[in-house]
């Protein structure tokens, strides 16, 4: 007897990327039918969710899906053939506007490196997602394009700055999404929306064609519905780019290494109340570690007593604000389509700082890199909550601490994964963060896959009808 359910009984919008690839390869799903499912959902649901700010023209989306079917018929199959994927609005897509959350932008002639790789692999681009203005924020309450709502609760933040990307994946409006992460911009929304995210090692995926926020902090980020999905995306997108000065020549291995749980040295961030982590998040974190007890190997507390998390986050923010004076020079001078007062205030703050202030902020990167190098000589993985809190109302106060637990991975150039940890008493999800040494991306993903299977904590995706 065939135990595989008929496709009529399966909601394709709940399926993972890997499941869909299997069904497409087996002929149980056609790329055109899959794209129509997502197109219909986007048309119905995006007006309320506001995950997308630019939609792929319907004819173009259908053409992409049709081409995927032609390639499959001819036996020339890309790794992501027929998979609907969303792109954050700070990546260039040829012929589509790149605004980076600002009121105006430009229409590029060429794709960003990561977009070109997606196209070459057969992905179907669904549109560009909402974000904080200039990527300066972690709420995605954009003054020009409106807020993105958390799919788990209308009126709550999806996080940011890649909030539209995470919301689209959680709500079944994209199978996966490409975002950017400079201080936590994919991991924060992944935590709030209950999805999976990877910030790769600095330079592992080329940032060419991505609007820079702070070049030494920027990474391309991946959002999906499972760890296996993240692994596939990394294998497709990673690689050396001679036209990106920060691109790594030594890539992570394309197959994960062997991993023995008993030999794992697991560092657990301690003193969480002193880090501003909310009590309900601490309680869930402790319960999560208890569930993972057999997989933690040798557990070691890491106190980071000599590391000022808020100061480090502010240093990274200053570097971003400083670089954006140049990145958005034309938009800042545009009086007909002005940026928001908040964005201008943040940029003006950086303009008033001295060269010594910038030098001090830049030194934080070296300090972070050395600290993490020494730390990962003693442990294999560092575990923390992804965010100190869960999602909060869009019309409420914004916590200063949102990026305190995520920013040090950017400052040190390390890979970090966020997986769902469970839900808080108010029913909103929150994530568990795994941080590894530079270049350990696939080892980290392998570990995250094991832990995710043990926890089985991904919330029921709030797929609106």
From CA 170, how far away is CA 151, in angstroms rounded? 7
Catalytically annotated residue among 16, 35, 56, 88:
88
From CA 49, how far away is CA 167, in angstroms rounded? 8
Q: Kindly give the pairing relationship between strand 265-269 and strand 381-385.
A: parallel
From CA 352, how far away is CA 438, in angstroms rounded? 34
From CA 9, how far away is CA 104, in angstroms rounded? 44
* Cβ atoms of 209 and 258 closer than 8 Å: no
Catalytically annotated residue among 16, 56, 100, 161:
161
* Cβ atoms of 49 and 148 closer than 8 Å: yes
CA–CA distances in Å: residue 76 to residues 70, 124, 189, 235, 464: 9, 16, 36, 19, 35
- Going by the DSSP 8-state scheme, the letter that residue 390 receives in this structure is -
Q: Tell me the H-state helices in 50-205.
A: 58-74, 113-120, 163-170, 187-193
Distance of CA 25 to the CA centre of its chain: 27
Distance of CA 116 to the CA centre of its chain: 19
From CA 398, how far away is CA 54, in angstroms rounded? 27
* Cβ atoms of 49 and 146 closer than 8 Å: no
CA–CA distances in Å: residue 182 to residues 20, 284, 321: 30, 26, 12
Catalytically annotated residue among 56, 182, 185, 226:
185
Candidates 382, 365, 433; CA nearest to 199 is 433
> For this structure, is 88 an active site residue?
yes
> For this structure, is 418 an active site residue?
no
Q: Kindly give the pairing relationship between strand 52-55 and strand 124-129.
A: antiparallel
Q: Tell me the H-state helices in 51-162.
A: 58-74, 113-120
> For this structure, is 161 an active site residue?
yes
* Catalytic (active-site) positions: 88, 161, 185
């Amino acid at each position: 007897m065939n135990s595989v359910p008929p496709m009529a009984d399966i909601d394709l919008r709940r399926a993972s990327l890997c499941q869909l690839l299997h069904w497409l390869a087996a002929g149980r799903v056609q790329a055109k039918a899959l794209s129509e499912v997502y197109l219909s959902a986007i048309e119905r649901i995006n007006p309320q969710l506001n995950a997308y700010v630019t939609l792929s023209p319907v004819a173009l989306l259908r053409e992409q899906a049709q081409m995927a079917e032609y390639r499959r018929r001819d036996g020339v199959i890309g790794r992501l053939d027929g998979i609907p994927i969303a792109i954050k609005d700070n990546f260039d897509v040829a012929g589509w506007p790149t605004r980076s959350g600002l009121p105006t932008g430009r229409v590029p002639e060429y794709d960003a490196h990561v977009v070109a790789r997606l196209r070459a692999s057969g992905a179907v681009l669904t549109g560009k997602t909402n974000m904080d203005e200039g990527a300066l924020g972690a709420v995605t309450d954009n003054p020009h394009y409106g807020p993105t709502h958390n799919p788990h609760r209308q009126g709550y933040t999806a996080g940011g700055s890649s909030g539209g990307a995470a919301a689209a994946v959680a709500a079944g409006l994209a199978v996966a999404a490409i975002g950017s992460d400079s201080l936590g911009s994919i991991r924060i929304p992944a935590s709030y929306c209950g999805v999976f995210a990877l910030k790769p090692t600095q330079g592992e995926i080329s940032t060419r064609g991505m609007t820079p926020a702070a070049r030494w902090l920027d990474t391309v980020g991946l959002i999906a519905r499972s760890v296996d999905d993240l692994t596939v995306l990394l294998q497709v997108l990673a690689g050396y780019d001679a036209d990106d000065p920060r691109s790594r020549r030594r890539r992570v291995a394309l197959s994960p290494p062997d991993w023995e749980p008993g030999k794992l040295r697991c560092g657990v961030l301690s003193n969480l109340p002193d880090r501003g982590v909310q009590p309900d998040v601490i309680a869930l974190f402790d319960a999560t570690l208890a569930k993972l007890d057999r997989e933690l190997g040798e557990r070691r507390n890491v106190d980071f007593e000599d590391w000022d998390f808020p100061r480090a986050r502010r240093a990274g923010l200053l570097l971003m604000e400083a670089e954006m004076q140049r990145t958005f020079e034309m938009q800042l001078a545009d009086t007909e389509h002005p940026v928001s007062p908040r964005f201008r205030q943040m940029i003006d703050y950086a303009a008033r700082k001295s060269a010594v202030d910038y030098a001090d902020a830049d030194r934080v990167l070296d300090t972070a890199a050395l600290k993490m190098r020494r730390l990962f000589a003693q442990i294999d993985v560092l575990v923390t909550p992804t965010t100190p809190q869960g999602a909060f109302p869009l019309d409420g106060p914004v916590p200063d601490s949102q990026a305190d637990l995520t920013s040090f991975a950017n400052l040190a150039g390390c890979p970090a994964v966020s997986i769902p940890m469970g839900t808080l008493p108010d029913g909103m999800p929150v994530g568990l963060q795994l941080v590894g040494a530079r270049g350990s991306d696939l080892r980290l993903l392998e570990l995250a896959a094991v832990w995710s299977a043990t926890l089985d904590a991904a919330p029921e995706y709030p797929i609106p009808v």
